[in-house]
Chains A and B, each alone.
Chain A
Amino acid sequence: MDDLAPRASASATPNHLPRPAEELERLEAVWRMPRGVSIVTEFNNNLIGPLFVATALLFLLLAGLLGLLIRAQLAVPGLTLVDAATYNQVFTMHGTVMMFLFAVPAVEAVAIALLPAMLGTRELPFPRLGAYAFLIYALGGTFFYCSIFFGAAPDGGWFMYPPLTSKEHSPGINTDMYLLGIGFIEISAIAGAIELIVGILRCRAPGMTLGRMPMFAWGMLVFAGMVVFAFPAVIVASTLLELERAFGWPFFLPERGGDPLLWQHLFWFFGHPEVYVIFLPAAGMVSMIVPAMAGARLVGHSLVAMALVGTAFLSFGLWVHHMYATGIPALSLAFFAAAGFAVSIPSGIQVFAWIATFASGKVRWEVPTLYVLGFLFIFVLGGLTGVMVSVTPFDWQAHDTYFIVAHLHYVLIGGMVFPLLAALYYWSPSLGQPLSDRLGRIGFWLLFGGVNLTFFPMHISGMMGMPRRIYTYPSGLGLELWNALSTVGAAVTALGFLVVLIDVVLHFRLGGGQRDHWKAGTLEWIDNNNYGPRSIPRVQDRYPLWSDPGLRREVEEGGHYLPMTATGRREALVTSPAEAIPQYVQVLPFPGWGHVVAAVGTCAFFFALTVPLLVEAALAFCVMLGGMIHWLWTGSDPAPSATRSVDIGDGIRLPTHASGPVTTSWWAMIALMLVQGVAFSCLLVSWLYLWLVNGDAMWPPPGQGVPAGGFGLAAFALYGAGALAIGAASWLLGRAGQWWVRLALLLAMALFAAGAWADLSALWSGGVQPQAHAYGAASFAIASWQAVHVAIALLMAGYTLARSLAGMLDGQRRLTMDNTRLFWLYVAAQGAAGLGMLHVVPRLLA
C-alpha cells in the first residue's frame, strides 16, 4: 500500500483545500440529468437504482397478491374461489414472479442503488448496460405479469417439469410465455451480474483492498459470480424445451430417446444456487446493518467473507436435493445429503458472527434492528428445517408437501425479505428521507407475527399429509385448523406490507437526506450527489468514517481524489482488483436513446416470438439490433481525450484512456465468455447425459450416424484459420495500414462463415436428424448453438470493419477490436470443443 501512503503527513488530504468554485460547477454540469421526456435516456445509478428497487418491490406486492389468493382459496376445504386452471396459473405465477421478478432483481437493484456510494465510485463501469438490464426487466416483467389477466400465464409450476410442459400435454402459449419471457429476463440478471463483477472489482475507492471491502459488496460479488455460473443452465434448459416444443427436437421425451430428468438436473443446477443467490446479498446487508446498530465492528470479518464464498461453492453441489424422490440410488443421495449439511456451516458462521457483534456493542432498538432480529429468528428456524430436509429419508416424506412450503418461505422471507426491509429502513436516509419509526415498528410486528402465523402451521399441515400445488383439499384429514390459521396469518402479513407501503409513500423522498443518520462507518454515508461523492475517498480501514472522523468533511469539500472532471465528461476512477490502486480514469458516455430503443426492441422481439408473430418478431429484432449498435457506436470505445492524463491527487497521474487487459471492457468480455462457456458446457453435458441414458447401442440410434469426419476436419481447420485471421487483424491494427486490417477482418469472416457451414454439413451428411431421436436433437443443439455464435461473431467483425471505415479504429482506440478478437477466440474454442464432442468422442469410445 506504499503507493497510497499519504505523501506529506497523516492529516494532509490528497488534494489541496479549499477547491476552486468552478470545479464543482463543472462536475455538476456534466452529471446533470436531462429534463422532461429525455429523462428516460439517463442511466445514472442514483436514478436507475431507486427506480429498480421500486419496480422490484412492486413485483413483490403483485406476487404477494397472488399468494393471498392462494391462501383465500385454501382457507377451508373444498372452496373454489378460482377454478383449477386459474389456480394452477396463480401458484405458478406466484413462485415465478417472486423468484425471477422480485428476489433476484431486488438484490441487484439494491446493489445498483447503493454499491457506487459504498465503494466510493461515481458510477459503475457500464451504466447503460445497467439501465438496459433494468428496462428489459421492468418492461418484460410487466408484460409477463399481465399474461395472467388473459389466461395465458404459465401453469406448469415455476419448475416447469416436462413432459407436463411438453407440446402434447401443454399445447397453449402459457408454457412458451414462461420459456421465452423468463428466459430473456434472465439476460437482465446476467447483464447486471457482469456490471456488478467488474464494478466491484475495478471501481473501488483507492485503498479499499478486498480485505477492507464492505460485506454487502462481498455478498454482491459472490452473487454475481453465482449468477454467471448458475443462470446459463436455466437458459439452456429453456432453450432446449422451447426447441422441443417449436420444432419437435426430443430432449425430454423418453419415447424418442429423451429423458425428463435431464430437465430436472439442468433446472436445479440453476434452481438450488438460486436460493443462495438470493440469500447471500441479503446476508451481506445484515453484516452491514448489525455493526451500525451495535456500534461495533463485525466480529470475524474475514470468516464471514469466506463463509459467503464457501456457500457459493457448496451450493452448486446441492441440486439433487430437489430430486431425492426421482429414484436416484441411495448411495449417491448420501453424497448430496452430506453437501447439504456442509452448507449450513457457513450460515452458522455468519449467524454467530452477528450474535458476537451484537454482544460487542450497545444495541440500538431501531426499526432496522427489529427486522434483523426477526430475520435471525425466521432464518435460523428455516435453516434448521433445511438440514432436516437434507436427510434423505425424511425428505421422502416431506418433499412436495406443505412442510417444504413452510421451509422455503421461512428461508426466503427470513433470509431475504426481512433483510431487504431492514435495508429499506436502514438505507433510506442515505438515499433520501428516513422512513417513519412508528409506522416502521407497527409494520414490523404485523409482518413478524403474520409471517410466523402463516407459515409455521404449514409445517404441521405438511406432516399431516397435505401435498403442495393442490387447488383444494378434502375435509377429514385434519388439515382444517392449520389452513385456517395460515390464511389468517396471510391477512396479517398483507396488513403489515400495507403499513410498509403507506410509510414509503408518505415518507420516502429522494435526495437531501440526513447523511449521518445512524452514525455508521462506511462510505455510503458520505454526502452523495448525481456525480457520486464530491471527491473519491482514500480508504484506510473497513470502517473509514469511524477510524477517521475528519474523512467525511475532507471528502465532501473535495479534498480527496479526482474532485474534478478531468476531460469534461462523466468519469469513473478505475482501480486494481485486489489492492485498489488507481489505474486509469474511465470516460463514461452521456445519456442517449440507444439502450432504451434496444430494451424496447428486445422485449417486443421475445413477446412476438411467444405469440408467435414472426414478421413482427423480425422487425423487433431489427429495432433491438439498431438500438444496440447505436448505443455502442455513440458511447463505447471513445476517442482518447485531449487531456491525455490527469493528476487525481497525492501526485498520482493517471491516463484518461486505456486499452488491453487493464480496461473494464476487457474484464466484462472475460465475464461474458465465462457465461458463454458455462452455457456451452451445459449443452455438452446434456449430450453426454443423454448418451448415458440411451446406452451405446442407441447413440447414435439405428438410421443415424456419427457426423461426417471430412466436414468436421474442415470446420475445425476453418475455425482455427478464422481465429488466426482475427489475431492478425488485431496485430496489424496500429502496425500496418487500415486496408490490411480490413482485409484480415474480411478473411476471418469468410473463414468463420465457411466453418459454421461445414460444421452443420457434417451433421446433415452424416445422416443426423434432429427430430427423430434425442441423439440428433442434442447434436444439432450443439452445432446450432455454435452457428448462432458464429453469426454474432460475424456481426461483431462487421461492426469492427465499419468502425475502421468510419475512422473510429486505430492503434490507440481499439477496444472494439480487442473485444471482437476475444469473442472470436472464444467462439473458435467453443467450435473446437463442440466438434470434439460430436466427432471425436463417439469415435474414441464406440
Chain B
Amino acid sequence: MPPAPALTPHCGLLPATRIAAVAALLLTAACSGVQTPLDPHGDAAARIATLTIVLFVGGTAIFLLVMGLLGWALFAPGSRRGLLRGRGFVVGGGIVFPIVTLVALLVYSLDASRALVLPREAQPLRIEVIGRQYWWEVRYPDAGEDAVTANEIRLPVGREVELLLSSGDVIHSLWIPNLHGKMDMIPGRVNRQRFTAERTGVLRGQCAEFCGLQHSFMALAVVVQEPEDFAAWLALQQAPVPEPADAQTVQGMRVFGEAGCGACHAVRGTPWQGRLGPDLSRVGSRLTLAAGALENQHGTMAGWIAGAQDIKPGNAMPAYSRVLAGEDLLAVAAWLEGLR
C-alpha cells in the first residue's frame, strides 16, 4: 500500500488505484454535491471514496462473472458445460475463490481503516457537537466557554479537527459525508471523530439515526474556510453582540424578552441565557434556520417564528403567529437577523 495519502486537488485518490480512479472521475464529476461521500473534501472522506470505488469495481466484476457462469450453465451446449458440473467447481467457486478475494479485501480494508483512525496532529481543533431533538449545539472548547453556535459547523481548511459527539436526549448520528462517515451521538457517551478538511466549501450534514418526529429536518451547514476567515469568524462568536441600531430592532429586543424567548434561547451579553434551544448570539450570520429546514434569507426568520409548528411540526419551538402582533413579530425577526 502507498505510505501516505497523495491528495490531488480534485478528487484525492490514492495512486495505487489511479486506473480505477480515472474511470471513476466521470462518476465523481457527476456525483459532486454538498452531501455525498463521492465528492470528498477531506482526507478521511477521500480514503473512503477510494475504497468505495475499489469495492464498486470489484463487486461489479464478480457479479458479472457469476452471472456469466450462470448463463454458461443455462445456455451453453451440453458438451461445453463439463467444467461446471462437478463438485470441484463448487469448491473452487464457492470456497477457494471467495477466500482468496476476501483475504485480499480484508488486508486492504484493514489498512484503510487503520489509516482512518491514526491521529495526525497532537493538538487537533476540538469541536463539541451535541445532538438534540431536532437541532445541533456546536461548541469550540479550545476557544472558550462563549464560543458557541448551533446548526452550523465552521472549520479551517488544512487543520485536523476532532469532533466530540454527544447527545442531550436520544441517539442521533452526525453525518457530513463529504468529510467523513457517520458517528453516533449516544446519551451518556462521548464519541470522537477526526479528519482534516482539504478543500474549502459549504457542505451539508444530516442526522442519520432516526431520532423522532422531525428526524427528517435535522440537518446542518458545514463551512470549510481559509484559516484566517475561520479565525475571524471564531473571534466574532465570542465578541459581544451588536447593540440594536434602530427603533425596530430596539422593539424587537424588548419583545424577545417579553415573549419569554430567553427561557429557551441564549443571546450573549443579555440576561437571556436559556439552554433548551439554539444559542442565537449570531443567528443572523448563519446559513440556515431550524436545523436546515429553511434558508436564512430575508423573511424566513419571521416565517419561522410565526409558523414553527407548520414548518417543522412537533419541534420544541412554539408557533408565535397567534401570540405576537404582526409588528412585534417582524421586530423580533429584524433584531435576530441583525445579530451577525
Contacts of A259 in B (CB 8 A): 188
Interface pick from A468-476, A630-638, A695-703: A468-476
Contact B90 A353, beta carbon cutoff 8 Å: yes
Question: Which residues of chain A from 370 to 411 have a CB within 8 Å of any chain B CB?
Answer: 373, 376-377, 380-381, 384-385, 387-388, 391-397, 399-401
Q: How many residues of B sit at the interface, in one of the four size bands?
A: 35 or more
Contacts of B171 in A (CB 8 A): 161, 163-164, 260
Q: Does A622 contact B (CB under 8 A)?
A: no
Q: Does B125 contact A (CB under 8 A)?
A: no
Contact A394 B52, beta carbon cutoff 8 Å: yes
Contact B169 A478, beta carbon cutoff 8 Å: no
Contact B116 A393, beta carbon cutoff 8 Å: yes
Contacts of B235 in A (CB 8 A): none
A349 and B94 CA atoms in complex are apart in Å by 4
Contact B94 A350, beta carbon cutoff 8 Å: yes
Q: Does B37 contact A (CB under 8 A)?
A: yes
Q: Does B212 contact A (CB under 8 A)?
A: yes
User: For chain A, what secondary structure do more than half of its interface residues adopt (helix, strand, loop), or is it mixed?
Assistant: helix
Contact B175 A351, beta carbon cutoff 8 Å: no
Q: Does B215 contact A (CB under 8 A)?
A: yes
- Annotate A145-188 by CB proximity to B: 1 below 8 A, 0 otherwise: 00000000000110001011000010000000000000000000
Contact A169 B169, beta carbon cutoff 8 Å: yes
Q: Does B241 contact A (CB under 8 A)?
A: no
Q: Does B182 contact A (CB under 8 A)?
A: yes
Q: Does B268 contact A (CB under 8 A)?
A: no
Contacts of A210 in B (CB 8 A): none
Q: Does A61 contact B (CB under 8 A)?
A: no
- Annotate B174-191 by CB proximity to A: 1 below 8 A, 0 otherwise: 010100111110111101
Q: Does A654 contact B (CB under 8 A)?
A: no
Question: Which residues of chain B from 99 to 127 have a CB within 8 Å of any chain A CB?
Answer: 99, 102, 105-106, 109-110, 112-114, 116-117
Contacts of A81 in B (CB 8 A): none
Q: Which residue of B lies closest to A169 (CB)?
A: B170
Question: Which residues of chain B from 43 to 87 have a CB within 8 Å of any chain A CB?
Answer: 45, 47-48, 51-52, 55-56, 59, 62-63, 66-67, 69-70, 72-74, 76, 78, 81, 84-87
Q: Does B276 contact A (CB under 8 A)?
A: no
Q: Does A341 contact B (CB under 8 A)?
A: yes
Q: Does B38 contact A (CB under 8 A)?
A: yes
Cross-interface CB contact of A88 among B37, B175, B181, B213, cutoff 8 Å: B213
Q: Does A788 contact B (CB under 8 A)?
A: no
A260 and B214 CA atoms in complex are apart in Å by 21
Q: How far is the CB of B222 from chain A (nearest CB, A)?
A: 12
Cross-interface CB contact of A400 among B66, B67, B98, B173, cutoff 8 Å: B173
Known contacts A327-B183, A330-B114, A396-B181; A85/B215 CB under 8 A: no
Contact B70 A358, beta carbon cutoff 8 Å: yes
Contacts of B204 in A (CB 8 A): 465, 477
Known contacts A164-B210, A400-B182, A478-B33; A325/B173 CB under 8 A: yes
Q: Does B208 contact A (CB under 8 A)?
A: yes
Q: Does A646 contact B (CB under 8 A)?
A: no
Contacts of B182 in A (CB 8 A): 325, 396-397, 399-400
Contacts of B95 in A (CB 8 A): 345, 348-349
Contacts of B180 in A (CB 8 A): 396
Q: How far is the CB of A817 from chain B (nearest CB, A)?
A: 49
Known contacts A380-B63, A388-B59; A465/B210 CB under 8 A: no
Known contacts A345-B98, A400-B209; A260/B188 CB under 8 A: yes
A261 and B188 CA atoms in complex are apart in Å by 10
Q: Does A83 contact B (CB under 8 A)?
A: yes
Contacts of B317 in A (CB 8 A): none
Contact A348 B93, beta carbon cutoff 8 Å: yes
Question: Which residues of chain A from 328 to 372 have a CB within 8 Å of any chain B CB?
Answer: 330, 333-334, 337-338, 341-342, 344-346, 348-353, 355-356, 358-360, 362-363
Q: How far is the CB of A296 from chain B (nearest CB, A)?
A: 9
Contact A157 B210, beta carbon cutoff 8 Å: yes
Q: How far is the CB of B95 from chain A (nearest CB, A)?
A: 6
Q: Which residue of B lies closest to A471 (CB)?
A: B216
Q: How far is the CB of A286 from chain B (nearest CB, A)?
A: 13
Contacts of B133 in A (CB 8 A): 169
Most chain A CB within 10 A, of B117, B191, B208, is at B208
Contact B38 A469, beta carbon cutoff 8 Å: no
Contacts of B215 in A (CB 8 A): 469-470
Can you spell out 28 A-B residue pairs with CB atoms less than 8 angstroms apart? A254-B187, A260-B171, A299-B90, A325-B209, A345-B95, A345-B102, A349-B90, A351-B66, A353-B94, A358-B74, A359-B72, A376-B66, A380-B67, A384-B59, A385-B59, A388-B59, A392-B109, A393-B48, A397-B182, A399-B208, A400-B182, A401-B208, A463-B38, A465-B204, A467-B208, A469-B215, A471-B216, A477-B33
Q: Which residues of A contact B (CB under 8 A)?
A: 83-85, 88, 156-157, 161, 163-164, 169, 253-255, 259-261, 299-300, 303, 307, 325-327, 330, 333-334, 337-338, 341-342, 344-346, 348-353, 355-356, 358-360, 362-363, 373, 376-377, 380-381, 384-385, 387-388, 391-397, 399-401, 463-465, 467-474, 477-478
Q: Name 13 extra pairs, CB < 8 A, besides A337-B109, A391-B51, A471-B216.
A: A84-B213, A161-B210, A299-B87, A325-B184, A330-B113, A338-B106, A349-B95, A384-B62, A391-B112, A394-B55, A400-B175, A400-B210, A478-B31
